[in-house]
Each structure stands twice: as structure tokens, then as C-alpha cells.
């Protein structure tokens, strides 16, 4: 270190200039030579850097990284262990022969300007949970990166052109609440994205940020006051897609520059709502009316042939209601599941004298009727779970050890066969 310090002093006083833009190099776990600058000698921190002169941006004279690469979180130089805290400017400039996943290690705080400009990565991008800054053009034209683009909650700033033309990213892009600034054209041409969620702390969206994101099918904004939009922020996006905004803010968005082009604003409370069919999928569900701030939600369960609707429950299996269609007001997160049962093909004729109580039950219930001979209990899949011979007008059935849900009772007596449904909670 003393020799290096002396060399730097000599260069400063004698007008010398170094031909290199790095302090040392080291081989990473996948065998490529990477280049580093020491940014904090006291705390032993380094940044990954581009090896050539800052004005050249050419790998001539250096071995360009190719193939799959693993970026290390630490590196040893002169016997000292350094932590990687930054991917510096142009560090992997134009490395088109890099392939596979790109994983930014935890511990990296910043990704510099054009750090991965026009790289050839063909897999997923994983951004470490310490990154706060994604600088200008950091992943410019990395159009072969695929999968979900996940911005970690640590990120504060996303620079202009940061993900320009990264067209193979897909799924939902969530800009977390930590982000306060998005540069112009940051996501221009990210045409594979299907959904966009904007966090609570973005006050300004600069020019062209989402130009050409024509795969978007919906946008959700978690702000009562519309973020200020620059020019052509949403150019090329279908203006009829749903734009979900907080309760009471619809008119403000309709009147706001950049937002007013959209025609399908929906006001949403700050709650999530989903609906699905329980396994086995023996029916379908339709959302007759989306719940929002102004209207109740209405869902309808439709059973396939040989099955009947049983009840609505939560994803945890907790009984909600057996009304169908089901009308509700959204006052908290709600994830509904429709459950159906096999009607086991028995005749719909019912014994008028048969009664079941208590119903719903926690397990033990009474069946009453005239001259009952047998009680059969079937689960929602039509499987026989219990048979009990009876020679009386009253009998007790115990389902305490059975799973919660709807059960079908088939009651056989001298006057015929009847059915009753019983719900176990």
C-alpha cells in the first residue's frame, strides 16, 4: 500500500496519468477476471469497475467477461478482505457474451451508470436487498433478461434509461414505497410487463418513463394526489386498461396531465380481493361486480354437472357464507374460495319428517325422522365417510374427527330416502 501511495503522489506532482482505471484485479468464482477500485481503505470497501480509460470504453487489451458469471460479495487484495459495495460506471460495458442469471450480491449499495450496458444475460435478474441507487442506463438494452423484474424495498432512486428496452421482463412491476425518483425513459420499451404498481412516495414521473410498455393490462397507483407526469409518460399504452386509484381520487386523476388520457379509472380501497375454486376444481367462479369504494362486490359460483355449490370460505378453510351469488362489502383483505360437493347422483326427493340440528355443527349433531333405518354421510368429493344403522326415530352422528366443510346426509327410512346438507365448522 505504501508503494501505491507513493506512485499516486509522484503522478500528481509530475503530471503523470495512469493508463488504467482500476486498483487491482481478481478472478471471480466462475473464472472471469474482474477489476476493482478501492473506495474506502479504512472500512475495506471496493467497487467493481471498467478496466480501460474512461474515454475509450473498449475491452481491447483486456479479457472481456463471457459466459455465466457469479459476482462475489467480497474480494481479497494484499491479504485484506474487501466488501463489494458498488458496481461502478461501465463495469460490464457491452459484454454481449455474458449469459445466464445476473445476481447482484447483498451488500452492493449502488449500480452505476451503464454498469451492464447492452449485456447479453439470458436469465433472471436478482437485485440485492441493499441497493439504494440504480443509476442512468444501468441495464440499458439488456433485452434478454427475463422473468419478473423485482425492485427491492431498499431502492430510493431509479435513473433515466435504467431499464431501457428490457423487453423480456414479464409479470407485475412493483415500484416500492421506498422509491422517490424515477428518471426519464427508465422503463421505456419494457413491453413484456403486464401490470404496474406505483408506490406511495413517487411525486413525479419524468418524460417517457413507460413509453412502449404496451403489454400492460392494468395500473395501480397508491397515492391520493396524482404524481406529476412529464411528456409522453404512458405513450403507446392502451388507454382503456383499468387504472386503480384510491377512494375519492378518481376526479383528480381524470383531470391530471398525463393521467387524463385513461378512460377506465376504478377506485379501490386499500384492500386486496381474490376469488378462486377449491381443489378439486369442479366448478367456476364469476365476478359479477368488482368491489370498490362505491359498490359492493358480487361473486357467483357455477357447479359442473354432478356437483353442487357448497359454500364460500377463506383460503385457510374458514367458512364465510353459503349464499350464492354472494354480495359483500370490502372492509379488509378478502381471498374467497368457492367449494363444491358431489351430489352422488341420488334422487332429489326428501323425507319431509327428517330434521338435522344443530346445523352448522362443530361435529356432533342429531338426525330425527320417522322410522330411520340408516344414515350415510358423504364428503364434498362424494366419498362415503360414515354409515350408521338405526332402528329409531332419532340418532346422533359424530363428525368431530372429520375435516370442516359441507357434508351430504343420505337418510333411509320406511317412507323412502331423503337428503340433508350439514356444515361442519
Tell me which of 17 and 104 has the higher pLDDT.
104
Rg (CA), the chain: 32
Number of other residues whose CB lies within 10 A of the CB of residue 245 = 26
As a whole number, mean pLDDT of residues 336-346 equals 74
pLDDT for the residue 117? 96
pLDDT score, position 381: 65
pLDDT value at 3 more than 60: no
The DSSP output letter for 91 is T
Confidence of residue 347 (pLDDT cuts 50, 70, 90): very low
Say whether pLDDT at 331 is over 90.
Answer: no
pLDDT of residue 11: 30
Please state, in angstroms and rounded to a whole number, the distance separating the CA atoms of residues 119 and 112. 14
Reported as a single tens digit per residue, the pLDDT across 84-96 is 999 999 999 999 9
Is the pLDDT higher at 68 or at 278?
A: 68
Q: Would you place residue 13 in the very low, low, confident or very high pLDDT band (cuts 50, 70, 90)?
A: very low
User: Given pLDDT bands bounded at 50, 70 and 90, which one contains residue 2?
Assistant: very low
Q: Which of 151, 170, 269, 254 is nearest to 217 (CA)?
A: 170
Domains and CATH numbers, the chain: 17-145 (3.80.10.10), 162-268 (3.80.10.10), 273-342 (no CATH), 355-424 (2.60.40.3080)
196-246 pLDDT tens trace: 999 999 999 999 999 999 999 999 999 999 999 999 999 999 999 999 999
The fraction of the chain above a pLDDT of 90, given in percent, is: 60
Average pLDDT over all residues of the chain: 88
The DSSP output letter for 73 is S
Q: What is the pTM of this model?
A: 0.67
- Mention every residue, 6+ apart, whose C-beta is less than 8 A from residue 125: 101, 102, 104, 139, 142, 145, 147, 149, 169
Return the sign of the alpha-carbon dihedral for residues 308, 310, 314, 320.
Answer: positive
Q: Is the peptide bond before 416 cis (omega within 30 degrees of 0)?
A: no
pLDDT tens, residue by residue, 91-145: 999 999 999 999 999 999 999 999 999 999 999 999 999 999 999 999 999 999 9
Number of neighbours of residue 217 by Cβ within 10 angstroms: 12
Instruction: Tell me, rounded to whole angstroms, the distance of Cα 302 from its chain centroid.
Output: 28
Q: Which residues contact 79 (CB under 8 A, 6 or more apart)?
A: none
**Per-residue pLDDT, 359:** 83
Least confident of 8-22, 46-60, 197-211: 8-22
Q: Is the pLDDT of residue 33 over 90?
A: yes
In angstroms, the Cα distances linking 186 to 140, 167, 176, 201 are: 9, 12, 15, 17
Q: What percent of the chain has pLDDT over 70?
A: 91
**Beta partners for residue 111, in sequence order:** 87, 134
Task: Provide the pLDDT for residue 352.
Answer: 57
> Residue-wise over 74-99: b if at least 16 C-beta within 10 A, else e?
ebebeeeebbbbbbbbbbbbbbeebb
> Given the C-alpha cell 439504494, which residue does it identify?
132
State the Cα–Cα distance between residues 377 and 297, nearest whole angstrom.
34
Q: For 293-308, what is the mean pLDDT?
A: 85
**Higher-scoring residue by pLDDT: 144, 330:** 144
Amino acid at each position: 500500500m505504501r508503494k501505491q501511495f507513493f506512485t499516486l503522489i509522484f503522478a500528481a506532482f509530475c503530471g503523470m496519468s495512469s493508463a488504467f482505471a482500476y486498483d487491482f484485479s481478481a478472478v471471480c468464482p466462475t473464472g472471469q477476471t474482474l477489476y476493482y477500485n478501492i473506495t474506502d481503505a479504512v472500512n475495506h470497501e471496493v467497487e467493481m469497475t471498467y478496466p480501460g480509460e474512461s474515454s475509450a470504453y473498449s475491452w481491447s487489451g483486456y479479457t472481456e467477461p463471457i459466459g455465466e458469471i457469479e459476482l462475489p460479495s467480497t474480494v481479497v487484495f494484499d491479504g485484506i478482505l474487501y466488501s463489494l459495495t458498488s458496481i461502478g460506471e461501465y463495469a460490464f460495458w457491452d459484454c454481449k457474451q455474458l449469459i445466464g442469471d445476473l445476481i447482484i450480491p447483498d451488500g452492493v449499495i449502488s449500480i452505476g451508470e451503464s454498469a451492464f450496458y447492452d449485456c447479453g444475460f439470458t436469465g433472471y435478474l436478482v437485485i440485492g436487498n441493499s441497493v439504494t441507487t440504480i443509476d442512468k442506463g444501468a441495464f440499458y438494452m439488456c433485452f434478454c433478461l427475463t422473468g419478473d423484474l423485482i425492485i427491492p424495498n431498499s431502492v430510493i432512486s431509479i435513473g433515466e434509461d435504467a431499464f431501457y428496452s428490457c423487453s423480456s421482463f414479464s409479470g407485475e412491476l412493483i415500484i416500492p414505497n421506498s422509491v422517490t425518483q424515477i428518471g426519464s425513459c427508465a422503463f421505456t420499451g419494457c413491453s413484456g410487463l403486464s401490470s404496474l404498481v406505483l408506490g406511495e412516495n413517487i411525486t413525479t414521473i419524468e418524460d417517457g418513463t413507460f413509453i412502449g410498455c404496451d403489454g400492460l393490462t392494468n395500473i395501480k397507483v397508491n397515492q391520493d394526489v396524482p404524481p406529476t407526469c412529464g411528456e409522453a409518460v404512458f405513450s403507446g399504452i392502451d388507454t382503456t386498461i383499468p387504472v386503480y386509484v384510491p377512494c375519492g381520487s378518481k376526479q383528480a386523476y381524470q383531470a391530471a396531465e398525463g393521467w387524463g388520457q385513461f378512460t377506465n379509472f376504478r377506485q379501490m380501497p386499500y384492500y386486496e380481493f381474490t376469488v378462486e375454486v377449491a381443489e378439486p376444481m369442479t366448478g367456476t367462479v364469476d365476478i359479477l361486480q368488482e368491489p370498490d369504494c362505491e359498490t359492493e362486490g358480487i361473486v357467483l359460483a357455477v357447479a359442473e354437472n354432478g356437483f353442487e355449490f357448497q359454500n364460500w370460505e377463506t383460503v385457510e378453510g374458514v367458512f364465510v357464507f353459503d349464499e350464492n351469488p354472494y354480495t359483500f362489502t370490502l372492509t379488509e383483505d378478502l381471498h374467497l374460495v368457492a367449494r363444491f360437493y358431489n351430489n352422488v347422483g341420488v334422487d332429489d326427493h326428501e323425507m319431509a319428517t327428517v330434521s338435522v340440528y344443530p346445523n352448522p355443527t362443530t361435529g356432533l349433531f342429531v338426525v330425527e325422522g320417522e322410522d330411520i333405518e340408516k344414515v350415510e354421510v358423504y364428503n364434498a368429493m362424494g366419498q362415503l365417510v360414515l354409515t350408521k344403522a338405526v332402528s329409531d326415530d332419532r340418532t346422533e352422528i359424530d363428525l368431530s374427527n372429520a375435516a370442516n366443510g359441507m357434508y351430504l346426509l343420505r337418510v333411509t327410512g320406511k317412507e323412502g330416502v331423503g337428503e340433508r346438507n350439514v356444515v361442519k365448522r
